Amino acid sequence: MFVTFEGIEGTGKTTQITKLKEYFESMGREVFLTLEPGGSRIGTELRKMLLHVDSKDITSITELFLYLADRAQHIAQVIKPELEAGKVVISDRFADSTVCYQGYGRGLDPKLLHQLNEVAVDGCWPDLTILLDIDVEVGLKRAMTRNMRDGKTQEEGRFEQEHLSFHSRVREGYLTWAALNRDRIKVADASGTPDEVFANIKRLVDTKLAG
């Protein structure tokens, strides 16, 4: 099973991914956690270029191709082999981030991005995508608190420095895209306590496992 988590900054993806990993393990499944950008060796280099605050001069198209390159490598070198080894793979962000950040956020055509994703993903779409949804201001505030705690502002802060209007377009884009892909993308309210949010995610996963 291949599960991905999506959402704007500060939705608490990391906490929920840890909980879902423990849940699968309690059922005796082996879990492989990964992320984008940066899930492969080459991807680690691409991640530095993509997220560093010094990359402000990157064009939208360059940014797009770097994310797609990261994904193609991630799929071929990491995700497919781990799935073939029988593991549950959970990725923190995947193809929908490109549609929502580079598409709805930056203004590139979401349909074109979906076609480019088809090339990068090479037939390996997630079985289930959890979209954690939260108010933009609440999310950004949470992300800022986390970054200060983890000291990550300078190294990986490029997206957090975008305007509120950018993040609002991304959030609305995610909700629109989820409505267009109802079978795969399930929306979970991320405003509650971690346990409340997870209860909802667990329900979505159980439904998928039963189906």
Of 110, 93, 91, 118, the closest CA to residue 173 belongs to 110
Question: Where does this chain touch ligand TYD (CB under 6 A) — which range of 74-82, 92-100, 118-126, 198-206?
Answer: 92-100
In the complex, minimum distance from the CB of residue 201 to ligand TYD, in angstroms, rounded to a whole number = 16
Residue 46 beta carbon to ligand TYD: minimum distance, rounded to whole angstroms: 10
The amino acid at 81 = P
The region of 91-99, 118-126, 174-182, 194-202 touching ligand TYD under the rule CB under 6 A is: 91-99
Q: Give the amino acid at 62.
A: T
How many whole angstroms from its chain centre is CA 39? 12
- What separation in angstroms does the CA of 27 have from each of 24, 92, 101, 168? 5, 21, 34, 38
Query: Site mask, ligand TYD, residues 140-179, x = CB under 6 A?
Result: ----------------x--x--------------------
Verify binding: residue 97, ligand TYD, rule CB under 6 A.
Answer: yes
Burial of 205 (0-12, 13-18, 19+ CB in 10 A): buried
Rule CB under 6 A: is residue 39 a binding residue for ligand TYD? no
- Looking at beta carbons only, is 52 or 208 nearer to ligand TYD? 52
For the beta carbon of residue 98, count every other beta carbon within 10 angstroms: 25
Laid out side by side, the sheet with 2-6 consists of 31-35, 88-92, 2-6, 128-133, 185-189
Tell me: does residue 198 bind ligand TYD (CB under 6 A).
Answer: no
Give, as one character, the DSSP assignment of residue 36.
Answer: S
Q: Does 133 bind ligand TYD (CB under 6 A)?
A: no
User: What is the smallest separation between the CB atom of 27 and ligand TYD, expressed in angstroms?
Assistant: 26
Tell whether the torsion through CA atoms of 107, 9, 68 and 86 is positive or negative: negative
Residue 9 makes contact with ligand TYD by CB under 6 A: yes
Q: Which of 36, 74, 104, 187 binds ligand TYD (CB under 6 A)?
A: 36
Distance CA 74, CA 89 (A): 12
Choose one: 15-23, 97-105, 122-130, 177-185; the region binding ligand TYD (CB under 6 A).
97-105
Give the residues lining the site for ligand TYD (CB under 6 A).
9, 13, 36-37, 51, 67, 92-93, 97-98, 101-102, 156, 159
